[in-house]
Homo-oligomer: A and B are copies of this chain.
Amino acid sequence: MTKLIQIGIVGYGNLGKGALLALEQNKDMELVGVFSRRDPSRIKTETKTPVYHISDICKFQNKIDVMILCGGSATDLPKQGPEIARLFNTIDSFDTHAKIPEYFQKMDEAARSNGKTSIISVGWDPGLFSIMRTMTEAILPDGDTYTFWGKGVSQGHSDAIRRVEGVKGAIQYTIPIEGALNRVRSGQRPDLKTGEKHLRECFVVAEEGSDKSKIEETIKKMPNYFADYTTIVHFISEEELKENHAKMPHGGFVIRSGQTERESSQIVEFSLNLASNPGFTSSVLVAYARAAFRLNKEGQVGAKSVLDVAPSYLSPKSNALLRKELL
């Protein structure tokens, strides 16, 4: 039997927990340990996987093939990423779009100088959506690409509401506007402004005695976050928030609407309908961990993005079997 790919997980939040459970579904990989900045004795994993302090990570250099970095893009990955990429092949979900070129550069230097392979910005956006945007633009050069997000929870927007005075708890759903989606699907190639593609639905728990109409107005007028959108605010009880809004669904659509010869309309659509955003994202990370392992074996070192990885690298099946069964 082939040796199993030895995996480590760095960071044990929603994404790390998702990766741990996703690895259970992949029989060609084995989880060696979870690494955390917290006190390991206080973390119990569902699968009884050992937890180590992150300061011990260098002791695992000969024991782990790929580290799945599950930290956040704001502060964790810019620091941790290059440090760990010097020691291990890595996968991460760095998603600050504007800073990707800079992050790529740092990861490339770290990984390349030590013969490691790092695949950055893995997930669905950036990730699978990026693949769809790239491929469909290349196939239909005379066309427009539309990305819609949702229906799903936006953590950034939920956090922004929670900072409003008098708000005790809140969640925000980004919802694609059906009419806009249908105009795009019809092949019209409309020019859609930001607020014409999505609406924002907020469920807010107000502090007792607070001014609800003032809270609603503050949310709706918030620049960048809500001012340019149709925003719906519902006030609910704390129980309702816990009961009905604890899940993290998400999804979205990438649509390329283009024209080929004699103005034939061609529409390509890719969509996700996810009951659990961290569950899906971590499953994408795990599939790309397999790719990083293989690319490194082939000597393809340095930083890569999902755009640099051929589909067959994600699958545990041999290329011959893939051609027979799935091509």
Main secondary structure of the interface of A (DSSP, over half): helix
A-B contact pairs, 8 of them (CB 8 A): A128-B135, A134-B315, A266-B275, A266-B283, A267-B272, A269-B272, A305-B322, A307-B310
- Tell me the nearest residue of chain B to A321, going by C-beta: B101
Interface size on A (CB < 8 Å)? 67
Q: A116-130: contact bitstring with B at CB < 8 Å (1 yes, 0 no)? A: 000001000010101
Question: Cβ of A319 < 8 Å from any Cβ of B?
Answer: yes
Question: Cβ of A327 < 8 Å from any Cβ of B?
Answer: yes
Residues of chain B with a CB closer than 8 A to A305's CB: 319, 322-323, 327
Q: Which of B273, B308, B315 contacts A267 (CB 8 A)?
A: B273
B274 touches A142 (CB 8 A): no
Given the contacts A121-B327, A306-B311, A310-B310, A264 and B275 also touching, CB distance less than 8 Å: yes
Instruction: State the copy count for this chain.
Output: 2
B260 touches A22 (CB 8 A): yes
Question: Cβ of A72 < 8 Å from any Cβ of B?
Answer: no
A264 touches B287 (CB 8 A): no
Q: Which of B25, B137, B314 contacts A135 (CB 8 A)?
A: B314
A295, chain B: closest CB distance, angstroms: 10
Residues of chain B with a CB closer than 8 A to A264's CB: 274-276, 279-280
Expressed in whole angstroms, the Cα–Cα distance for A181 and B136 within the complex equals 24
Residues of chain B with a CB closer than 8 A to A320's CB: 101
